[in-house]
Structure 1
Amino acid sequence: MIGIVMAGGKGTRMNLDNEKLLLHYKKPIILHVVDSLKNSNCFSKVIAVTSPNSPKTKKLLEENNIETFDTSGLGYVEDLNLVLQKFNDLVFVTSGDMPLLDEKIIQTIVNQHDSNKIWTSILVTEKLLTSIGTNSEYSIIHNNQKCHFTGISLIDSQKINSLENLEENFVILDDKRIALNLNTKQDYDLLSTA
């Protein structure tokens, strides 16, 4: 299994002078996410996906001997599609803006893998997001409750020709370590209470 960290976004909702993934929570957020994947011992390799939107993030990753994969930076879906075409393997995808992610929750998620499913997205409930003081724009109704995407998926890229008409499987895993993505300054402020 390959660990993929999406690290090429613009981070425009944060309205920062610097790149979002360089924000510190003990260390730069992007390094925290990459280290969590490496420390889980679940992956044959960990790769950070960068773009022209994140030159300083790419520089930091390279300075820390982390393999990067360049995309156009047109958008999350486009960048992910390019990555999935490149790697013919089982892939764990996460956003690079998850400061509470750790190796234990990664191991728990990897254990959710069902070889009969091509794509499994990990969800959290709205109730959990509300309880920790955050929200998300991307929601669905699953098992009769409002849920939100965490930005984490398990994907068998060997079985994908295109992202169109792909059946998505969902797993709800209510855990604050995967519930907090840094999308706004308020999300970053929540770290001091985590």
Structure 2
Amino acid sequence: MIGLVMAGGKGTRMKLDGEKLLLQYKKPVILHVIDSLQNSNSFSKILAVTSSNSPKTKKLLQENNVETFDTSGLGYVEDLNSALKIIDDAVLVTSGDLPLLDMEIIQNIISHFDPKNIWTSILVTNKFLTSLGMESTYTVDFDNQKCHYTGISLINSKKISSLNNLKENYIIIDDKRIAFNLNSKEDFNLLSTT
């Protein structure tokens, strides 16, 4: 399995001068994500997807011996599609802005991988997310509940010919380590209270 970290976004919702993934939570946020994947010992390769939007993030990753793959930076879906075209393996994809991620939750998520499914998105329930004081605009109704995407998916890239009309499966894992992503300054401020 390949660990794919999305690290090429602008982070415009944060309204920062610098790059979002370089925000410090004991160390740069992106390194929490990389370390959780490395420490899980679950991946044959870890690849960070970068773009011209994140040059300092790319430099930090390379200084930490993380392989990077440059994309256009046009958007999450476009960048992910570019990366998946070069991968012929099972993939865990995660956004780079999950500072509470650790090896245990990564191993838990991987245990749900089913190669029969092309795409499985990991969700948290709205009830759980709001109990953390957080909110998200990306919602889906699943299992009679309003849920939110975590930015983590399990993908069987061998079965993908196009990202159009994919059958998406869902798994709910209400855990703050995957619910806590940084989309706003309020999210970052909440992080310091955890």
TM range, smaller chain: over 0.9
Structure 2 unmatched runs, 5+:
none
> Residue in 2 aligned with 1:178?
178
> Residue in 2 aligned with 1:2?
2
Q: Is residue 2:120 matched to residue 1:120?
A: yes
Let me know the Cα RMSD of the aligned residues.
Answer: 0.5
Task: Give, in whole Å, the separation in 2 of the partners of 1:65 and 1:3.
Answer: 14
Q: Is residue 2:102 matched to residue 1:99?
A: no
Task: Give, in whole Å, the separation in 2 of the partners of 1:165 and 1:47.
Answer: 26
Task: Give, in whole Å, the separation in 2 of the partners of 1:96 and 1:80.
Answer: 13
TM-score (norm 2): 0.99
By how many angstroms is 1:156 displaced?
A: 0.5
The residue identity in structure 2 corresponding to 1:112 is H
Task: Give, in whole Å, the separation in 2 of the partners of 1:133 and 1:17.
Answer: 25
> Residue in 1 aligned with 2:60?
60
By how many angstroms is 1:193 displaced?
A: 1.3
By how many angstroms is 1:43 displaced?
A: 0.3
> Residue in 1 aligned with 2:132?
132
SS in 2 for 1:193: coil
Q: What's the CA shift string for 1:71-111, capped at 9, x where partnerless?
A: 00000000000111111100000000000100000000000
Structure 1 unmatched runs, 5+:
none
Task: Give, in whole Å, the separation in 1 of the partners of 2:172 and 2:32.
Answer: 24
Once superposed, which parts of structure 1, at least 4 consecutive aligned residues long, lie more than 4 Å away?
none
Task: Give, in whole Å, the separation in 1 of the partners of 2:66 and 2:165.
Answer: 33
By how many angstroms is 1:141 displaced?
A: 0.6
TM-score (norm 1): 0.99
Percent same amino acid among aligned pairs? 70
Task: Give, in whole Å, the separation in 2 of the partners of 1:26 and 1:42.
Answer: 24
By how many angstroms is 1:177 displaced?
A: 0.4
Q: Is residue 2:84 matched to residue 1:89?
A: no
Task: Give, in whole Å, the separation in 2 of the partners of 1:11 and 1:115.
Answer: 32
Q: Is residue 2:166 matched to residue 1:166?
A: yes
Q: What's the CA shift string for 1:37-86, capped at 9, x where partnerless?
A: 00001100111100000001001111111100000000000000011111
The residue identity in structure 2 corresponding to 1:131 is S
- Map 1:23-62; keep pairs closer than 5 Å: 23-62=23-62
Task: Give, in whole Å, the separation in 1 of the partners of 2:137 and 2:123.
Answer: 13
Task: Give, in whole Å, the separation in 2 of the partners of 1:36 and 1:159.
Answer: 27
> Residue in 1 aligned with 2:71?
71
SS in 1 for 2:127: helix
The residue identity in structure 1 corresponding to 2:91 is V
The residue identity in structure 2 corresponding to 1:5 is V
